[in-house]
Structure 1
């Protein structure tokens, strides 16, 4: 894959007294995922960087973890990193994965309150992640992904003594999106049988009696339709025929 097709989030390492660089965290992702930076916690070259990626129909936040080597979770650097990390993930609604080199055995992290405070599950590979037999690389995942992730170790990498963690998400990760409000359906009124009165009644229009057969026939037909659909406007049928011509029957009024 060419460099033009990649985006990256680099957490700067710390300069050493010998002119080198200590630590540093780098996350690389395909550019078409429109990765968005959401978190960067760095202290003495260690820390966590977080990026939100848009996948097919859902989003996920990947936290790249590198904790201080030779220190416990209660050490100053690691404890400060986790305090800031927990304050962020406790308010997330988006599924997330924190994965990387924790530099402490998985059982040490499992023995703390960090997983419960983060409302997350610990996902540990089935084999050691270093060539000296320790499991220092693993993942902490949000509850939405708990049980959906499998993890394995690959050794064809140039950065031994650590192996490469490979994670797979197996299953759907539905997210809650805003929905349009649901409106109540208009109840259907029963339609009355259509009965057309063939007996034509004279009409009254502006005080004048109308005897035109076409107008009388249209008035009778309109009244029958209105009655079938329970449209009477509070008037009896005869009043509907004779008095409501202006609003309902004007188009059918014929003058010869």
Structure 2
């Protein structure tokens, strides 16, 4: 058991529901002091997690929030998301707001936290997405932002070494309280889960465990890395379309 985070201070952005709540819970259970910041308080508070109201798209407020912390050992940039929206169905300004939340806000928070993290030799964990590494129709601005976030983390890791480590979780599909809206109810969730090699969607706790590892002393020599937490990824579509290596009627 790695107890390196016991007593340390961790901030989880967007840590009030879904993946963020799972991440916050994992750090709290590891004995850290956890502060979850978001615009709205959690509907179901997580034991051991403090809530701080914060709009991450307000840079002066973000700087004031981090300046008010007595110390900081780890920052998990989890806040983000997007509605389903085809590119031609909205103007550039609306897509830009998605990029602002998913790329600019983590940069803002990381810069505001930098001085603290240098003093404690802490770490930043970016919560990325598989959408950043493949076409993302219906959420193209989100996918572009997540691709940029992963690149930002690699550059940040080089610039801020050796005092601050920076890594990215490349997250696949996660079962949260809103999954039924994305996948069409329980039947849709089960159908989507069958496309994942491990046979299920991730739980928020799976993402929390991975974030906990990257922020702990067990990962002391890991920086600039991308850890894929996606259950094995997605089965390539061509495998189902190709006729080679499929049994013929005679073979059956």
Give the TM-score of the pair, scaled to structure 2.
0.32
Tell me which protein shows more strand as a share of its residues: 1
Higher relative contact order (CA 8 A, sep 6+): 2
Q: Based on CA coordinates, which of the two structures has the bigger radius of gyration? A: 1
Question: What's the TM-score once normalised by structure 1's chain length?
Answer: 0.31
